[in-house]
Amino acid sequence: MASRKKTRPAEQPVDDTVNDTVKLGPLFGIGPHHYIPFLYLGAVVLLLFGVLVLPGILQYGSLVSFESDPRGAEIYLNGIRKGSTPLEIFVPSGSYRVEYRLPGITPENFEVDVSGRLLGTLLLPRRILSYAHLKFDEAHLHSVLSSAVREFAAWGAVGQSSRQHRFPPALSEGMDVLMTAAPVPISDERTNAGRDLLLQSVAHTVDPALLRDYVRAASKFHNAGAALGPGGLVETVRFFAHLHNSAEALPVLLSEALPRAESEQLNSNPAFRSFVDRKTTAMVALSYEELPTELPGERRTLLGTSFARVPEGRVPLGQSRQGREPSTLQLPWSKNVASFEIMEHTVTRADYSGFLVENPKWRPENIEELIEAGLVTQDYLHDWRDDMNPALPVTFVSYYAAEAYANWFHSRVSNAHPGLSARLPREAEFEWATLLDGSDLFPGNFRERPNAGPRPAAEGERGNLGLYHMQGNVWEWQLDYFAPGAYLMGDAVEPAGVERVVRGGSWVNSSSEVEPSTRGAQHPSWCSPFLGFRLVIVSGEQS
């Protein structure tokens, strides 16, 4: 029987297309062909209102541009600081008291009325220019000079600048204040201060950013703050030529300040290398073998303190007795030193106690006032107590405390011996006394000794001059500011700065780390268990 095959009926295609038409109905009896144009028109009106009118309602005022000569003045509106010139900020409408403030400048005050505009402020805001040609205050001449040098030197001590760590133009901004503020023409005092600013800061120019700032400041000085012109360019070049004549090693300082690629190119130049090699040997006219062997051996006691006389001579500063290769910034040089007298030992705790009796400001109980004044740190006289050994060197004293002690001692010495002055030693004097004393030729109180800590100031071996611990025991504050390139400038300039030089090493150092030419630097407010001081006596002309 034949089977019957079932078949399914063919499926009909389905049309998925929806053919719906949306028709707008009347609105409040008004047909869409009438109200649609009004809707578009309303949207345009709202957009124009939001762009042209609403910003003027929400921020009714003006963009005020504050400008000044010199630049960098702080702007205060009704006593509230807003920024520094050049500055552009939005100021709501109203009356304001504007004040321009800048160190060394007479504050400029005036009233200003700021109005506004409703229409178009988003696209074309209302602008007002506030300009002041500031007047220099001659009474602050020294503070402007010293603050600019200190800030420039402080950035030089930080390290290398980079894209993430940029140095501000401290020197050129200070020169702006000196050379562009009213009145014009610039007084001789301000001109001399501008020249001193360049001379005192050149030894800190050890970075490309600092070099750019220095050159910018030099050009401002020789152009009275204006843009560099032909005449000013000639004077700027002449200034650097004169500086080079006074300090022959200036190109070496330049090699440190140039960017790396240019510095490497300069250092690989045969003529430059020959110049450095010549300076390494020729700058020192006196070798260690030629040090005087017959020493005066004169001593005297002033106010209960023993001093040894150091003869005049030419000091071979920076030359290593251990055969170390000098760093580029510390090429040795020679310097004339006049005769002076130096304390046989560092100031002791007993000595400092006498100072505290007559100067209560510096007593430990007044430490908070001293800290607030920036004269000491929290560690000032940290170990000061009744049961202390009075023969130990006084430590935990800042440079400012050592300077105050020197001034106190000076007032007493000068009264008893007119014509004599007491002060902290200069580093050339300290190195000269160390060399003549031969302090580095016998064991000092360094880390190699079994008993940690400082020894009594007048205990141990004495050198040729009868001095104690010119090497080791405690570092000693010096009168000089620390400048990285000071040796390269020689006697041409007297650097200023922030940090002060320390010399001599301490009981925590290895004897191999310290020699007569070793120099360090500390912030003058720093108080350390490894740092003390001694005084020198000089004639009035050297004070």
* Residues 294, 442 within the same domain: yes
* Residues 72, 218 within the same domain: no
* Residues 476, 511 within the same domain: yes
Q: Tell whether pTM > 0.85.
A: no
- Residue 335: what pLDDT? 83
Of the residues 136, 159, 185, which one is the last residue of a structural domain? 136
* Residues 164, 100 within the same domain: no
DSSP string, 326-368: PPGGG--EEEEE--EEEESSPPBHHHHHHHHHH-GGGSGGGHH
Average pLDDT over residues 434-454: 84
* Residues 346, 480 within the same domain: yes
pLDDT for 18 beyond 60:
no
Number of domains in the chain: 3
Average pLDDT over residues 397-405: 98
Closest CA to 247 of 480, 486, 431: 486
- Residue 1: what pLDDT? 47
Average pLDDT over residues 108-137: 89
**To the nearest whole number, what is the mean pLDDT of the chain?**
86
Q: What percent of the chain has pLDDT over 70?
A: 89
Query: Greater confidence, 470 or 206?
Result: 470
The verdict on residue 272 lying in a domain is: no
* Residues 320, 449 within the same domain: yes
CATH classification at residue 377:
3.90.1580.10
- Domain of residue 94, residue span: 57-136
Average pLDDT over residues 157-179: 85
Query: Which uninterrupted H or E stretch holds 425?
Result: none
The verdict on residue 15 lying in a domain is: no
Structure tokens at 504: 């001599």
Per-residue pLDDT of 269-322, as tens digits, reads 888 888 777 766 655 545 555 667 677 778 999 999 999 999 998 887 877 776
* Residues 122, 156 within the same domain: no
**Which residues are paired to 315 by β-bridges?**
335
DSSP string, 23-81: ----BTTB-HHHHHHHHHHHHHHHHHIIIIIHHHHHS-EEEEEEEEESS--EEEETTEE
DSSP string, 224-272: TTS---HHHHHHHHHHHHHHHHH-TTHHHHHHHHS-HHHHHHHHT-HHH
Query: Which uninterrupted H or E stretch holds 181?
Result: none
The verdict on residue 254 lying in a domain is: no
Amino acid at residue number 379 = D
* Residues 475, 433 within the same domain: yes
Distance CA 98, CA 344 (A): 60
* Residues 423, 316 within the same domain: yes
* Residues 323, 468 within the same domain: yes
The verdict on residue 480 lying in a domain is: yes
- Residue 9: what pLDDT? 54
CATH classification at residue 65:
2.60.40.1120
Q: What percent of the chain has pLDDT over 90?
A: 46
Compute and round to an integer the Cα radius of gyration of the chain.
37
Of the residues 87, 117, 136, which one is the last residue of a structural domain? 136
The verdict on residue 50 lying in a domain is: no
Of the residues 100, 117, 136, which one is the last residue of a structural domain? 136
- Residue 285: what pLDDT? 47
pLDDT for 225 beyond 70:
no
Distance CA 332, CA 286 (A): 11
Instruction: Map tokens 């020169």 to a residue.
Output: 175
The verdict on residue 6 lying in a domain is: no
Per-residue pLDDT of 319-370, as tens digits, reads 777 666 666 666 677 788 999 999 999 999 999 999 999 999 999 999 999 9
CA 207 to chain centre: 13
Strand order in the sheet with 127-133: 87-92, 61-69, 127-133
Distance CA 441, CA 420 (A): 32
Closest CA to 477 of 412, 420, 374, 396: 396
Structure tokens at 151: 């800030």
* Residues 150, 72 within the same domain: no
The verdict on residue 7 lying in a domain is: no
**Which residues are paired to 127 by β-bridges?**
63
The verdict on residue 420 lying in a domain is: yes
* Residues 84, 232 within the same domain: no
